[in-house]
Structure 1
């Protein structure tokens, strides 16, 4: 534990050296001591977890060596374009993504040839607005995540395939060696033609997969942070959809939804 004293308020940051650095501004003395307590992230309530019950707990969580995997599939009463637009707007993540404090878009570019195909429409965020299905853009964004006095900064590379898929990859953080989040969007017709007539015709399926390898220097903190975030991600996404588009009527039956979860999961796996 590195403690430095200089004039300002007391705060905690997480350094690349994997040390917790405390700064308290009042004198110029430096001391070092061991600190064992970890930041206390709030756990999901039983009600929260029961809400996200489209897949069983054993289906949602899995482990392959060091790699931790979380998967969830939901059918939501929104179009693919609406689902995609919320996740693709990375600058708005601090408004709803669990523990995301700040987001800074560093760069964006279209896949070679795609910018010519879409024409000169000059949309302010071309990876979200206008264009055509499958149009691909690459973003680089810096995120700051944290809780209370804990803070970590990392850069994520994001692939946006319009209205179909968003995949964000980050490496070399103090919390993790590797982190990939993949969102995929499917209409009921893409899963099963019969489902186009079931319930809300504007509904869509969204699949989320989080793949996480904890940092060897902080395995306990990293795994705890990953699980805490995973349990909240889809619920936070649904809340954000309601904020942006309003609360929609979810008319399709839970029985119908449950019977198709396996099909959605298999479709998702085929595209890995």
Structure 2
């Protein structure tokens, strides 16, 4: 409010395992990033899974933060995101700027499509966090995730300007062990794919601003 020199690979056209598992339930709206990865069964927070990825990019932190906070553009580079839209904005800050406070993402994988909703917390220049919990949704019984927190954070590298360390953290629990089981083979790759996609977006958008 997940980075790449290689485009993320597209999924095969045949239905994915996650799509097959999802056919057992309807899931009209949920959290922010619908990407594979999961925990086992159970409702305890101790079952939550945690993924991270980090890149150091040759750009100042301010323009990188603007890219991360530009949620309306996520469909241009976030893997499997077909549409992205900010639905609520924060009040103006001291500089008169509004930041995204809630967003919907339309995510498709194989034959499986959902609209995911999340509350956003923006700390300008520092981090963008997307949060969602199963018990906050009116359709909680049909959701994919019990909880999902995605956090992007930036840390300028003082020894090599302009340069910024970009860190992505994803913490999540599935509502069903079925989702966890069918996604286990790819869960560890999710954060890396997302941060690589962001790296490519940064290269395309910010290359002309880089100081040589």
In the TM superposition, residue 104 of structure 1 has moved relative to its aligned partner by 2.0
Hey, what does 2:24 align to over in structure 1? 19
In the TM superposition, residue 19 of structure 1 has moved relative to its aligned partner by 2.3
In the TM superposition, residue 147 of structure 1 has moved relative to its aligned partner by 1.6
Q: 1:220 aligns with which of 181, 187, 196?
A: 181
In the TM superposition, residue 88 of structure 1 has moved relative to its aligned partner by 0.4
Which structure would you say has the larger RCO, counting Cα contacts within 8 Å and 6 or more residues apart? 2
CA contact (8 A) 2:52 2:170 kept: yes
In the TM superposition, residue 156 of structure 1 has moved relative to its aligned partner by 0.9
Hey, what does 1:32 align to over in structure 2? none
**Structure 2: any 5+ residue segments left out of the alignment?**
1-14, 27-34, 37-44, 135-141
TM-score calculated relative to the size of structure 2: 0.68
What is the alpha-carbon root mean square deviation over aligned residues?
A: 3.3
How many equivalent residue pairs? Answer: 172
Q: 2:49 aligns with which of 61, 68, 80?
A: 68
CA contact (8 A) 1:18 1:218 kept: no
Q: Aligned pair 1:118/2:95, yes or no?
A: yes
**Structure 1: any 5+ residue segments left out of the alignment?**
1-10, 22-40, 43-63, 120-125, 128-136, 190-194, 252-272
CA contact (8 A) 2:71 2:100 kept: no
Give the Cα–Cα distance (whole angstroms) in 2 for the partners of residues 174 and 228 of structure 1: 22
Q: Aligned pair 1:107/2:88, yes or no?
A: yes
TM-score calculated relative to the size of structure 1: 0.54
Hey, what does 2:61 align to over in structure 1? 80
Q: Look at both structures and tell me which one has the larger radius of gyration over its CA atoms.
A: 1
